[in-house]
Structure 1
């Protein structure tokens, strides 16, 4: 995409430059080869979203694209080899994430078919289920829906109302939605295309409810008609992703064979006796849900690469579009304006941080699901990491795409330039596969649990901890830390930057915030252990916002650390130098966002806090000559971008206009400017 030479690049020959292929390799990560393979495949226009296409046609186009994925062999990377797969768990998700550049509806519909429906069969079923359904699900012979969410219970899966009651006389489960709120809702493929569904229901046998389990339930015949006892509705037009046929399903005492229970974690014998390899109902439930964590993992990646696409469009346009003549010196390139840099460069840094953090998440996912490191602890770590990163990347995606749209002015609002459609499609990512606030609450609870474990059975340590916290509050809250900073800075903002905002200080500030926030919440919740359940719940509710804020701070720290780890793997010195500036920009914008906290807690002096914003401005200016290189390193080609304003057309218009005025001036026929009025 690099076609324009900025004045900065021309006048600063000694400036380090990134080696674009080296940085691309780092960004594409562990499964770079599969990402490239997927990108090469979606150069075919048959995979592209048609802007403004009517919903019925969009749905059928997306369905046809899934069949194209089957023909290309992109459908079964995760499956065991005996079922035509490659047993490549991380590569499978990496490949599907890349589909967001073709059409987010395609990425999500393929995720429903293979990442949810097919994965439920693979991860929750056993060999008889794999033999019976896995190949058909992979090859689109058996299109399916993933029927977990209910109208009345979204993220609260444990409380779903659908039941599957075992009838020992017939050897069948009776699947029933006893009230309207128990209807399965928002299900991809459910409105039209699915022939079967993996239905989550309360398993009841012998009069005992053994909690949520998963059943494969046929829902339509080959002609597309609902089977007896099955009904449903179309969810209709949505705010985005209208190539996916979301719908509702309900069941009126639908009977399925006992063998349709996906029984890896719980089984029912012919006589109705229940058995499970996991005795604890709670642990069993979370183990089953954890087996499907890949949905959250893939959303983190897709949101990140969708954001990278938006940044590519906005930065390329900003590097070519000129606006406002500066005293006859000619119109200025948008990205030369300080405000434009401030809008785009920190968000570009965020995309980089997310890309590096996501690759670490993919590695952990692959290690667990390949069996290479499948332990309970590793599964819990994976679930916590996915629950931490997915909220940040999906929230950030909406902010990044919206700012990119605004930075492109009216051109960004045209559907042909993709930003409005991308913003609409990514909107729902923040609430499906787990509402972001609920996910961060899970992370917060894990942080509290780990915090408590440090002092379990160690009263002396607890006493020392309390004393340490008190000392910390005196040191920070009384301003002693701030005073020390002010003395060190000698009244020099530049010196405070050099002394107090380097990498180790960034890490100290980010980590200290997490530690203090978790400790504060733990202290507030400690009395709840001796209260009644109702009183305890009330105390937790009072501190819920603080807990979620601590979890978010933890996730931000993880992204910063992932970025820093990635720097250590880059051998090219110039590339590492520039990316270090990008990492610093990411870290300092996080600190700037929470400056009030750092000032209130005494961790930054007012002078050094002011230096944070000043240094961000300096970094934006320093990185401006590298902006195009940094987005070019995402390695999107014209077939992936498909936005006219990022195609070079704007550069051509600017050059045509400049040539016109130059020729006009040379001809001597240019009209003279209106003279300025004389001063009296």
Structure 2
């Protein structure tokens, strides 16, 4: 998996002296003090859009067409039909065909396909996800789980939308636990057919896009049974409707109806009653059944086979990370633009109210989240790079695939959770304007709500990351034989703590009450990396120690011990993901050539890191990683850092490159400035006329003064 860079002895020297030699003010670092408007906008946009910037710009041009936009006045039925018509436009343009083989009109461009797909969120999240169902799930299952015969038989229809399809994996009774699904596919060697059957209602396939109305076929995941042996979950191509839209014999279903969001997608349920499909409808890249019922697979281990098959579908998590980051940028551009125009309360000037963006709390609300959004985007870009390396075949070993799966399981939760948080904060920060449908914040948040539980529930994904952190230290973890690894991790954590000089710096450097010196210590990248790394290492060691104590106990006791530390394991997985994001952010900053742009991005990276440390400050102080003096200085410095970034906030959001047709938000226009200027002109003219009414308080103050 992706791991953090291990500090070496050079880190030790740098960190140990950092508290003594760092400049007293960040301005001393930069040859020129950055000024608003001087950032290299083109370079910053290229960095944010990543390697496939051209693919993203191409799809952004396509969705500038108003016919591709969501109409908020449409009811569910009309919205579904509009999205289907928009999907046909994408099919005609080949917009979502980049990942498919050139033989079928694609470009074998896996990374570019995901990049383009993610930006459909600006047109309508329903369009994006329905496109994902058709080409990212249904078609991709045929591509990645099928063989050449399957590709030639079904990919053309899936790609041109003549065969709309559903991806029938999730069941009512087993969401994230795919291995335990109840649907069966039993081989009948007399007829050389598989019999697809859902034996009880909990096995019904649910929440499936294209299932309620439009789907003509489905890629159905079921337990493959042949000769009385269950070989685990495999995927089958199953026709479900005729050309008139009627269910085929044995197939049934229901419309999920109105949802909390994404109502342009016809989600529904499917069930199967002894539905027969030919033996060749098994997508048999990783497991096959011969005519006589003999099962074979190139992967001997059932567990490894299962995860390999599901691993081919990791692109959903990769794409959601990109789309969620984009939604965060959209919300923040609207909220920050509005805050640069909206005025409220006379704090410094009796004749002009203050800009919202000049209030410290407003800066912390929005700029803090802007920093995290940059971290989201840069880490999502690195995840996309890794995805392309694996799926293009450049780096496609088992280790590479496992690293990709773990990285996706780490980054997808953080980006999707943050999108909901950012959109909600932007809604609140824009008051009643943010609640208006024309500003899209409430609808965008509702549509993205499901992102946190589909393509893998975020909490379950982080548990997978946490287990991987433990297995990185011990291949024995499957048997909970982690005694040795616990001692190893503890030793490594302790050794690393001293080798990076963190403990020494904390204990030996006297802050002498100098708040600025204390704050400067936090600015060193080596300090940030060491603090964020150490809190992961130490917590992993502690959890491993608990598990090692029950390694020889009965299975029930082992399970109970794991369950007792499950919440902490998920928390440490989140912290590990945040460290990965910090590292991605740092690499992106280092790649920038323009000095002023790099300086401002360094401040933004620092804000991201220090907010993480601020949120967990109690742990850092309690464990001796941060002195109490430095802890007291931290919040004040974070406030000043947000204030320093305030003049660049709008530039930093605009760097993402969204055009008015992508934003479609009144709060992202000059409408509020025009209202404020009109009001200011009115009061200025009134004062100039000499006819302005006198405030009662002024009269009372004069009367009091005359009586003295």
Normalised TM-score (structure 2): 0.91
The residue number in structure 2 matching 1:306 is 327
CA-CA distance at 1:602 after TM superposition:
2.0
Pick from 258, 262, 271: which aligns with 2:279?
258
The residue number in structure 2 matching 1:427 is 449
Q: Tell me, in whole angstroms, the C-alpha distance in 1 between the residues paired with 2:575 and 2:422.
A: 19
Q: Tell me, in whole angstroms, the C-alpha distance in 2 between the residues paired with 1:573 and 1:469.
A: 36
Per-residue CA deviations over 1:470-508 (Å, capped at 9, x if unaligned) read 7899999xx9769626x5211111111112442211111
The residue number in structure 1 matching 2:373 is 351
Q: Tell me, in whole angstroms, the C-alpha distance in 1 between the residues paired with 2:315 and 2:659.
A: 28
Change in CA separation of 1:460 and 1:84 when aligned onto 2, cut-off 3 Å: closer
CA-CA distance at 1:651 after TM superposition:
1.1
The residue number in structure 1 matching 2:291 is 270
The residue number in structure 1 matching 2:26 is none
1:150 aligns with 2:163: no
Is 1:501–1:612's contact at 8 Å kept on the other side of the alignment? no
1:243 aligns with 2:277: no
Q: Tell me, in whole angstroms, the C-alpha distance in 1 between the residues paired with 2:293 and 2:308.
A: 23
Pick from 214, 221, 246: which aligns with 1:225?
246
The residue number in structure 2 matching 1:111 is 132
**Secondary structure of the corresponding residue to residue 425 of structure 2:** helix
Per-residue CA deviations over 1:72-122 (Å, capped at 9, x if unaligned) read 220211000001100000000000000011111111110010000000000
Q: Tell me, in whole angstroms, the C-alpha distance in 2 between the residues paired with 1:465 and 1:640.
A: 48
Pick from 656, 669, 673: which aligns with 1:651?
673
Pick from 498, 503, 507: which aligns with 1:484?
507
Is 1:482–1:602's contact at 8 Å kept on the other side of the alignment? no
1:379 aligns with 2:388: no
The residue number in structure 1 matching 2:86 is 65
Change in CA separation of 1:570 and 1:380 when aligned onto 2, cut-off 3 Å: same
Q: Tell me, in whole angstroms, the C-alpha distance in 2 between the residues paired with 1:13 and 1:470.
A: 40
**Secondary structure of the corresponding residue to residue 354 of structure 2:** strand
Q: Tell me, in whole angstroms, the C-alpha distance in 2 between the residues paired with 1:545 and 1:399.
A: 21
Q: Tell me, in whole angstroms, the C-alpha distance in 2 between the residues paired with 1:572 and 1:15.
A: 13
Which stretch has the larger CA shift, 521-530 or 467-476? 467-476
CA-CA distance at 1:667 after TM superposition:
2.4
The residue number in structure 2 matching 1:407 is 429
The residue number in structure 2 matching 1:8 is none
Q: Tell me, in whole angstroms, the C-alpha distance in 2 between the residues paired with 1:295 and 1:233.
A: 25
Q: Tell me, in whole angstroms, the C-alpha distance in 2 between the residues paired with 1:475 and 1:126.
A: 52
1:38 aligns with 2:59: yes
Q: Tell me, in whole angstroms, the C-alpha distance in 2 between the residues paired with 1:465 and 1:207.
A: 45
Is 2:33–2:596's contact at 8 Å kept on the other side of the alignment? no
Consecutive unaligned residues in structure 1, runs of 5 or more: 1-11
**Secondary structure of the corresponding residue to residue 452 of structure 1:** coil
The residue number in structure 2 matching 1:575 is 597
**Secondary structure of the corresponding residue to residue 249 of structure 1:** strand
Consecutive unaligned residues in structure 2, runs of 5 or more: 1-31
**Secondary structure of the corresponding residue to residue 197 of structure 1:** strand
Q: Tell me, in whole angstroms, the C-alpha distance in 1 between the residues paired with 2:154 and 2:136.
A: 15
Please list, as runs of the form range in 1=range in 2, the aligned pairs for 1:199-218 lying within 5 A after superposition.
Answer: 199-218=220-239
Change in CA separation of 1:511 and 1:462 when aligned onto 2, cut-off 3 Å: closer
CA-CA distance at 1:396 after TM superposition:
0.7
Number of positions where the alignment pairs a residue of Structure 1 with one of Structure 2:
666
Q: Tell me, in whole angstroms, the C-alpha distance in 1 between the residues paired with 2:56 and 2:446.
A: 24
1:677 aligns with 2:677: no
The residue number in structure 1 matching 2:3 is none
Q: Tell me, in whole angstroms, the C-alpha distance in 2 between the residues paired with 1:480 and 1:35.
A: 46
The residue number in structure 2 matching 1:542 is 564
Pick from 337, 342, 359: which aligns with 1:321?
342
**Secondary structure of the corresponding residue to residue 670 of structure 1:** coil
Per-residue CA deviations over 1:115-148 (Å, capped at 9, x if unaligned) read 0000000000000000000011011010000000
Is 2:378–2:588's contact at 8 Å kept on the other side of the alignment? yes
Is 1:481–1:604's contact at 8 Å kept on the other side of the alignment? no
1:181 aligns with 2:202: yes
Normalised TM-score (structure 1): 0.95
Change in CA separation of 1:671 and 1:463 when aligned onto 2, cut-off 3 Å: closer
The residue number in structure 2 matching 1:3 is none
Per-residue CA deviations over 1:1-58 (Å, capped at 9, x if unaligned) read xxxxxxxxxxx98636311111111100010000100111100011111113200011
Change in CA separation of 1:31 and 1:475 when aligned onto 2, cut-off 3 Å: closer
**Secondary structure of the corresponding residue to residue 323 of structure 1:** coil
Change in CA separation of 1:47 and 1:587 when aligned onto 2, cut-off 3 Å: same
The residue number in structure 2 matching 1:9 is none
**Secondary structure of the corresponding residue to residue 322 of structure 1:** coil
Q: Tell me, in whole angstroms, the C-alpha distance in 2 between the residues paired with 1:273 and 1:500.
A: 63
The residue number in structure 2 matching 1:587 is 609
The residue number in structure 2 matching 1:7 is none
CA-CA distance at 1:676 after TM superposition:
4.5
**Secondary structure of the corresponding residue to residue 451 of structure 1:** coil
1:418 aligns with 2:440: yes
Q: Tell me, in whole angstroms, the C-alpha distance in 1 between the residues paired with 2:86 and 2:588.
A: 35
Please list, as runs of the form range in 1=range in 2, the aligned pairs for 1:601-680 lying within 5 A after superposition.
Answer: 601-674=623-696, 675-678=698-701, 679=704
